[in-house]
Amino acid sequence: MSTSMRASYFEKFGELDQIKTGTLERPEAGEGEVLVRVRAAGVNPVDAAVARGMLQQAVPAKFPVIPGWDLAGVVEERGHAARRFDAGDEVYAYARRPTVQHGTFAEYVALPECYLARRPGTITMTEAGGIPLVGLTAYQALFQAGDLSEGDTLLILGASGGVGTMAIQLAKTAGAIVIGVASERNQAYMKELGADETIDYTAGNIGEAVRAIVREDIDFIFHCSRGDSLGQSIDTLKSGGQLVSITNSQPGVRDDISFRYVFVEPNARQLKHLRELVDKEGITMPVSRTFDLGDTAEAIREIESLHTRGKTVITP
Ligand SMILES: NC(=O)c1ccc[n+]([C@@H]2O[C@H](COP(=O)([O-])OP(=O)(O)OC[C@H]3O[C@@H](n4cnc5c(N)ncnc54)[C@H](OP(=O)(O)O)[C@@H]3O)[C@@H](O)[C@H]2O)c1
């Protein structure tokens, strides 16, 4: 095998157009690690934040940085004592390491095997590569930080993007009643995913739209959008209700509700559970666009708009 690989990388924080694609040294699987041939890597809004240096206080970086935290791919080699997977196994991972350096927008990545789970078998490799970060985010928000129960009414603010796509489907498998919020062009998409009701945030006040759908106050708000959507809808949450946000750690909300902020964590056990839900419950991850490795900057620019439907995925 060649000792080099194609990868996208940047050598300092700043504008996205400084992200290049070229040849770097191929990593090797160290102790407890596996080398994975990356076949698909989901693109996430956080990739833009990392490249712009907005996370440098929270997550240290070593240059050159290869961006990308999602992957689906094939185990190529195993390092010393790494025996959970065999060469040829198809896996997926949310590969956020303590230091930003060796990301997944590359042909190969070496990872401790504790990050990996076998990928879902009923969807394509490209679809699987879009699931880990958004799937874990939705799962940890609804069932770990929150406690979504059967029969709960759930309002998802930003329900047609990567996280929202997973949240609608996970909530339906748990027996919740789901109201999804996105723009006009995504109303039918949210229904196809299983949303019971949908709201177009461009058509008026979200809170008033919720009141027109349900008479009683709702049980749970999952906040995965920016803008004023939470301010418009927070009064529809019942006293004692649950609010989980992934976009605002200090929204300054009423003190009669339970509030939690989630910053998604790697968790291979939960990835295994998500695989079972995909394979047995038919959860999907629609991929709206794929990009070549050479178009990484464009892919990150597109996701930064925060109007992607489903996922965009790089296929190295
Ligand atoms: N804390 C964490 O661990 C964590 C993890 C993942 C993501 N995030 C953050 O969560 C957000 C969502 O991530 P994502 O990957 O799902 O993004 P995405 O794929 O870009 O989806 C954004 C969603 O927000 C909707 N939206 C945009 N403007 C809105 C508004 N004013 N009111 C209501 N909805 C609006 C979009 O619908 P339209 O396209 O129809 O406008 C779309 O459904 C991002 O800000 C991301 O940085 C945080």
- What is residue 129's three-state secondary structure? helix
Q: Taking the domain 134-261, which CATH number applies?
A: 3.40.50.720
306 CA distance to ligand 1 centroid (A)? 5
5 CA distance to ligand 1 centroid (A)? 32
Which atom of ligand 1 is least distant from the CA of 228?
31
Which atom of ligand 1 is least distant from the CA of 45?
47
Per-residue pLDDT of the chain (316 residues; tens, 9 = 90+): 889 999 999 999 999 999 999 999 999 999 999 999 999 999 999 999 999 999 998 889 999 999 999 999 999 999 999 999 999 999 999 999 999 999 999 999 999 999 999 999 999 999 999 999 999 999 999 999 999 999 999 999 999 999 999 999 999 999 999 999 999 999 999 999 999 999 999 999 999 999 999 999 999 999 999 999 999 999 999 999 999 999 999 998 899 999 999 999 999 999 999 999 999 999 999 999 999 999 999 999 999 999 999 999 999 9
Predicted local distance difference test score (pLDDT) of residue 2: 87
In the chain, list all ranges with CATH 3.90.180.10.
Answer: 4-131+285-314
Predicted local distance difference test score (pLDDT) of residue 1: 80
CATH architecture of 4-131+285-314: Alpha-Beta Complex (3.90)
Which atom of ligand 1 is least distant from the CA of 305?
20
Helix (H) / strand (E) containing 75: strand 70-78
State CA 220 to chain mean position distance. Answer: 20
Which of 288-291's residues contact partners 24+ apart within 8 Å by CB, and which partners?
A: 288/312, 289/313, 290/126, 290/314, 290/315, 291/43, 291/315
- The CA distance from 170 to 156, in Å, is 12
Whether residue 206 contacts residue 199, with contact meaning beta carbons closer than 8 Å, is answered with: yes
For the Cβ of 8 lying below 6 angstroms from any atom of ligand 1, the answer is no
For the Cβ of 246 lying below 6 angstroms from any atom of ligand 1, the answer is yes
Predicted local distance difference test score (pLDDT) of residue 15: 97
CA-nearest of 138, 128, 220, 197 to 173 is 138
β-bridge mates for residue 73, sequence order: 38, 91
199 CA distance to ligand 1 centroid (A)? 15
List, as one string, the DSSP characters of 177-216. Answer: EEEEEE-GGGHHHHHHHT-SEEEETTSS-HHHHHHHH-SS
Terminal-residue alpha carbon distance, the chain: 17
Residue 133: HSE in the Cβ half-sphere, 13 Å Cα cutoff? 26
For the Cβ of 125 lying below 6 angstroms from any atom of ligand 1, the answer is no
- The CA distance from 302 to 179, in Å, is 26
Which atom of ligand 1 is least distant from the CA of 164?
16
In the chain, list all ranges with CATH 3.40.50.720.
Answer: 134-261
For the Cβ of 236 lying below 6 angstroms from any atom of ligand 1, the answer is no
CA-nearest of 142, 129, 62, 143 to 93 is 129
